[in-house]
Structure 1
Amino acid sequence: MAALEQAIIDFFEHMGLLNLTVGNIVMIIVGLTLVYLAIRYGMEPLLLLPIGISAVLVNLPLSHLVNWPVAPQLPPGMEENIFATMAYLNQQYGPPGLFDLIYYLLIKTEIVPLLIFFGLGAMTDFGPMIADPKTALLGAAAQIGVFIAMLTAIALGFSLNEAASIGIIGGADGPTTIYLTTKLAPHILGATAVAAYSYMSLVPLIQPPVIKALTSKEERRIRMEQLRPVSKREKIIFPIISMIVIALLVPTAAPLVGMLMIGNLFRESGVVERLSKAAQEELMNIVTIFLGLGVGSTMRADSFLTAQTLMILGLGIVAFTSATAGGVLLGKLMMKLSGGKINPMIGAAGVSAVPMSARVVQRMASEEDPGNFLLMHAMGPNVAGVIGTAVAAGVLLSVLG
């Protein structure tokens, strides 16, 4: 009888329901909210859906999907060796859960973020930027949002590494945000990733007010000349030269830019169509699943429910709006210097939310003048922003990493 009573007591003690905390409940609601936004409103569903549902799972007590901390205290030097790190964590916390393996083997080692860039390269057409190289300056100007948000974060008391990870949200590039945060401040990965992808999906709401505040109706109605055709030779040479030059100038940006340009070379060469298609579809789909699950696994109540998280979400808005403003303001300067031949709105596409920012510019141009077609002009700074954000991340890594 005593054995039966003990068995019943043990059963109830090991029920997740009786171990549920208020923090767990809040995070489950947060996760379900992300799932709802992804399904109901189509907000970055490829990422927010897996991030949201994995956030729910890791906050169900005693599920053993995660057993290791996201940012453990390790002996000096061990951080450089992932296998030594995992052996140490196994000794300290027991065997890993499924999401621990996804995070430490695929996210922490940078494999998934880099493969995402490889797939992005295979999906990207740099033709508009090659046709009008000066638009690359607009992509660079938008990176001011990274540094404004970074300086604001420092002023609010964040460490340099945390501030850099928060600032890179302004690049509007989720994989770059995850890549940099994993290296510099993994304990805030969940917050920065959710901010980056949430605000990317809100670009059609965030950017128009900023653009309208900084431009006049006449400026928004400016028509631009049609872009020149870009030859296949130019498209093949561009990724090779870009990869070499950027790697020589900013070596820490080489992994991101290198994978982006290799993927793009596969696309433009025309001789490895099967590989290019695989990078765009099968590979991209697989790594996107692991990226979402890995990021969601870091959204645990004990590390996510902090005042820092709310501040990070707020700073994400600062990063996005200032990046948009930086691009538009340089666009206005280029408009003046060109004698009114450049529509300053295309500067807003300098944030690397491809192709959403460019579509926002086109929609606003059509509202002012139905016959105005700026999409391809806006795609130039848009794809330049992808490179610009990767370079900005490389610069921050070289200084702080």
Structure 2
Amino acid sequence: MKFSSWSIAFAACAALSATPGYAQGVKIGILNDQSGVYADYGGKWSLEAARMAVEDFGGEVLGQKIEIVTADHQNKPDIGVSIARKWYDVDGVDMITELTTSSVALAVQELSREKKKIDIVVGAATSRITGDACQPYGFHWAFDTHALAVGTGGALVKSGGDSWYFMTADYAFGYALEKDTSEVVQANGGKVLGAVRHPLNSSDFSSFLLQAQSSKAKVVGLANAGLDTTNSIKQAAEFGIVAGGQKLAGLLMTIAEVHGLGLQAAQGLVLTEAYYWDRDDKSRAFAEKFFKRTGRMPNMIHAGTYSSTLSYLKAVKAAGTKDTEAVAAKIKELPVDDAFASGKVLANGRFVHDLYLFEVKKPSESKKPWDYYKLLATVPGDSAFPTAAASGCPLTK
């Protein structure tokens, strides 16, 4: 039997399209903690935000359907990398985003470098992502430990909180947040009296809180997040830490944790977020759509995942291709202006935008559901984040 060159080429293309890793369409992966300490902080709510971005974009790009896949990395780098590797090699995933938990994000970022795939970190905080661990196709979207340190740490030192003791989550994120905040405290004339590290997802913070209390530091810096932060604050109340004159600083808190605590327990806390649902018309419109779907208001991770997904799709459209090099270049070239934030993307992959210093309202000050924050100050993006040249990213040298 004879085959024409056309039929051979057609058969080859059909085989290629059926091969794992050559899936048709544009596929985005939402990889985060969906069952553990960060499940409310990001979790299934970030997935819903990504779906909203796809719908708002129109459901397809370059004539191809947009698909979202999702998985729970359980805050374990080995599980996160295993999922990401399968997504890249077998399932044809083009971009992974959200990536709560710094240790997982750093591991997936290295795999993405190896596979020449785009990742956009939203929920993880370590500033190393666009610092010494940067890669050509890696981006960091909502916030980082440097920005949180400048916002919350800088403000508290300037208002008299000039001695600090840290309670730090014992992994990459906690170390980075403690380090960056310590540097801001010391640069503003404050002192760091010590630190204690606790395991991720602790249930008993009593021994750590007693050490913080005995330090006599004016500020106890909580270099943790999610349920670890809310449990720290609840147990600190039992020990009378705030009543005794020390101030708690939630260095990474979002409206999800404030809602979990309730205003009675959270009132007076100072925190930095990159997004607040009631800030302007754009943020309110997004939040109201999100609330109808989820029954809760979004935090900066949820809104940031909407933005990262939308920005990726806009870059694919502008590039006219899914090619990683071309899309990564477009993400860095295109300005960002959406319901989450407005700003620019630097050569190291850092999305630079304003952040906001908030104080949690007293129950008597809240006028409606989810009316939780008083704006104390706007932290300009150029102050919150270092330049690409100063970030330590090897790509910029």
TM-score scaled by length of structure 2: 0.26
Greater relative contact order, per chain length (Cα 8 Å cut-off, separation 6+):
1
The structure whose residues are more often strand, as a share, is 2
Under a length normalisation based on structure 1, what TM-score does the superposition of the two structures give?
Answer: 0.26
